[in-house]
């Protein structure tokens, strides 16, 4: 639930700031990508602070679980950086969609094991929330990172790195 709050909350704060403070300086694509990047910084950082709990949500047959948790945390942090750079946003979004699909089994397994993390402790009923949420994150990544990006840019030329 916290990632969703960060994503939606930051989006509306950036949107309001863009509309009323900086008068449309940034494109909607950029605002959506920055909000997603903030969410990824939060979730990616958690891989380093809640490692033991995240290991529990991985399939039993995976070797080097702790290393994989750290690796996926780094991937999320790198994706956050790639999303805010216009030149890398599209390829980052494509890779992030693939990543979001790949980590979905960990959310399912975590729910079945009732791992004490982000609602998974509620068991399989949590999946009625988590599966649509994961689809929403995938849609968000596609919409703001790929679709709007190809439809043209507003005025965020100052942020091209």
State yes or no: pLDDT of 156 exceeds 90.
Answer: no
Taking a C-beta distance cutoff of 8 angstroms, is the pair 80, 37 a contact?
Answer: yes
CA atoms within a 13 Å half-sphere pointing along the CA-CB vector of 148: 20
d(CA 46, CA 40): 10
What letter does residue 23 receive in the DSSP assignment?
S
pLDDT in tens, 103-119: 999 889 988 988 888 88
Taking a C-beta distance cutoff of 8 angstroms, is the pair 118, 5 a contact?
Answer: no
pLDDT at 1: 81
* Whole-prediction pTM: 0.88
Share of the chain above pLDDT 90, in %: 70
pLDDT in tens, 49-84: 999 999 998 888 889 999 999 999 999 999 999 999
pLDDT at 149: 61
Average pLDDT of the chain to the nearest whole number:
90
pLDDT at 59: 84
pLDDT at 60: 86
State yes or no: pLDDT of 32 exceeds 80.
Answer: yes
């Amino acid at each position: 639930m916290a990632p969703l709050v960060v994503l939606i909350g930051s989006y509306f704060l950036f949107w309001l700031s863009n509309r009323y403070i900086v008068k449309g300086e940034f494109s909607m694509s950029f605002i959506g990508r920055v909000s997603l990047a903030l969410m990824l910084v939060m979730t990616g950082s958690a891989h380093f602070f809640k490692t033991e709990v995240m290991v529990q949500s991985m399939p039993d047959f995976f070797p080097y679980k702790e290393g994989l948790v750290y690796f996926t945390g780094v991937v999320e942090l790198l994706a956050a950086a790639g999303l805010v750079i216009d030149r890398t946003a599209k390829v980052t979004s494509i890779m992030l969609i693939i990543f979001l699909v790949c980590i979905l089994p960990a959310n399912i397994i975590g729910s079945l094991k009732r791992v004490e993390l982000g609602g998974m402790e509620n068991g399989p009923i949590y999946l009625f929330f988590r599966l649509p949420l994961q689809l929403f994150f995938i849609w968000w990544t596609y919409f703001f990172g790929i679709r709007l990006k190809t439809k043209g840019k507003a005025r965020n030329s100052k942020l091209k790195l």
